[in-house]
Amino acid sequence: MKHISVTPFGRQAVTAGLLAARALPDEAALPRIDKWSLFNDLRTARLRFGLSDRDLSVLYALLTFLPAKVLEEAGDLVVFPSNAALSDRAHGMAESTLRRHLAVLVKAGLIWRQDSPNGKRYAARDRAGALVQAFGLDLRPLLLRATDIVSAAAEVMQATDHLHRAREALVLRMRDAAKLLAYGIEAGLPGDWAGLQARLLPLRAALRRKMDSDLVARLLGEAGDILQALRAMLDVTSEKTHGTAAHSERHHTNSNEDSYELEPCLETGRGGGQVAAVPDPKEISQMPSVPLVLVLKACPDILPYARSNLTQWRDLVVLASELRGMMGISASAWAEAQRFMGPETAAVAVVAMMQRIASISNPGGYLRALSGKAAAGGFSAGPMIMALLNSESARAA
């Protein structure tokens, strides 16, 4: 009579953990899954199962002794290599170390021991050579826990991706803050620049360390507070220094206000006379990370086209809406930019493009590319404006 023993060979006693690992429920229909795909998922979620990279090396070696590529209930899932053979497959791992990692895999409930009467690993065969019973290490728990392993790997990858995006957003905010600080200090503007610089230093130091999601979220909030304080300081400065003299020579050469809609669109297959869709407020991002006064300083070429003093963000949005037709940007590309960036940030992108329109062959396609970055959370208007300011400073020098 065939009997599968659940107790270990030798002096090793039965433990509650051993019984719990063997108490995995037998599902009515077990999945049929590629063993290497499942191993890769387990490698991704190894910390969820309390495994180290060395534990996975031993499990990998065990899987190589399984002839079939697919794990399925009908297959032979017991492998019976000797310690010497298993050590050889594990790149020469010492047998004492090998036994320790096997114990971890058993404790994690990923393999079972099917010990023979004398504790050796071997297979019993009939006279025809067919396998009757195998004693060794049973890989069936991998099949039983396949759903949990795949699910845990998906959660880990999602969390990793979220952490990566959050870290990117943190870097963008810190870059904007650093450049705005540098501008304020170099321009000699009034404000507590040293205090904000001191608040930014710990954030820079934290970027050199490995951070979890909670720490990144906290630093994101701190960086946002610093940016908000910077914008407030620069806005106060702009209100004191911004006059109307710079706008006194503005003129509008086009007497037909809607004539720009008839301009040919540079985007293949897209007309310029479409009506822009109203963006969904839920999709609109936050306000630009640079103050309006810096945008106007970086983009002086837009001033002749303005019909009024550009003192508020909505004035810039109206101007950008008119400029985009003159630049050959379709209404749909403009609406898409507003949807993913927010109207104010989209306006900053358009006027920045207008400032360097001579070097942009396809403004519509360029704006759509920026919209794609914004949709992925990887776009900030700050670097565009600071680049224009730096190039203007370089030309002046």
Q: List, for residues 80-136, the tens digit of each pLDDT value.
A: 888 889 888 888 899 889 989 998 998 888 988 887 666 677 666 777 766 667 778
* Residue 246 pLDDT > 90: no
* H or E element that contains 78: strand 78-79
Report which secondary-structure segment, H or E, holds 341: helix 331-341
Residue 350 scores a pLDDT above 90: yes
pLDDT higher than threshold 90 for residue 155: yes
Query: How high is the pLDDT of residue 182?
Result: 82
If you average pLDDT over residues 19-35, what whole number do you get?
65
User: What pLDDT sits at residue 255?
Assistant: 35
Query: Which residues lie closer than 8 Å to 249 by C-beta, 6 or more apart?
Result: 304
- Which one-letter DSSP state was computed for residue 309? -
Q: Is the pLDDT of residue 139 over 50?
A: yes
pTM, two decimal places: 0.54
pLDDT at 289: 79
User: What is the CB neighbour count within 10 angstroms for residue 224?
Assistant: 16
Region 146-157: mean pLDDT is 93
Task: Provide the pLDDT for residue 79.
Answer: 86
Query: Which range is least confidently modeled, 28-32, 154-158, 177-181, 287-291?
Result: 28-32
The mean per-residue pLDDT over the stretch 327-345 comes to 91
The pair of structure tokens assigned to 130 is 């067919």
Higher-confidence residue of 241 and 318: namely: 318
374 and 349 in contact (C-beta within 8 Å)? no
Average pLDDT, integer, range 362-375: 90
pLDDT band at 154 (very low <50, low <70, confident <90, very high): very high
d(CA 231, CA 177): 9
Helix crossing, 53-64 with 95-107: angle to 10°?
A: 90
Give the pair of three-digit tokens for residue 363: 């403004």
* 350 membership: H or E segment, kind and range: helix 343-355
User: Which comes out higher in pLDDT, residue 307 or 283?
Assistant: 307
Whether residue 264 is predicted with pLDDT greater than 60 in this model: the reply is: no
Instruction: Reply yes or no on whether the pLDDT at 313 is more than 70.
Output: yes
CA distance 363 to 348: 14
Write down the pLDDT at residue 317. 92
DSSP 208: T
Output 368 or 395, whichever has higher pLDDT.
368
123/131 Cα distance (integer angstroms): 7
Dist. CA 25–CA 362, nearest whole Å:
61
What's the whole-number average pLDDT of the chain? 78
What CA–CA distance (Å, rounded) separates 224 from 19? 52
If you average pLDDT over residues 31-57, what whole number do you get?
Answer: 92
pLDDT at 11 exceeding the cut of 60: no
Q: What percent of the chain lies above the pLDDT cut of 90?
A: 25
Q: Which distant-in-sequence residues (6+ apart) come within 8 Å of 290 by Cβ?
A: 176, 180, 231, 348, 381, 382, 385, 386
Minimum mean pLDDT among 6-10, 222-226, 268-272, 320-324: which range?
268-272
Give the chain's end-to-end CA distance (angstroms, integer). 94
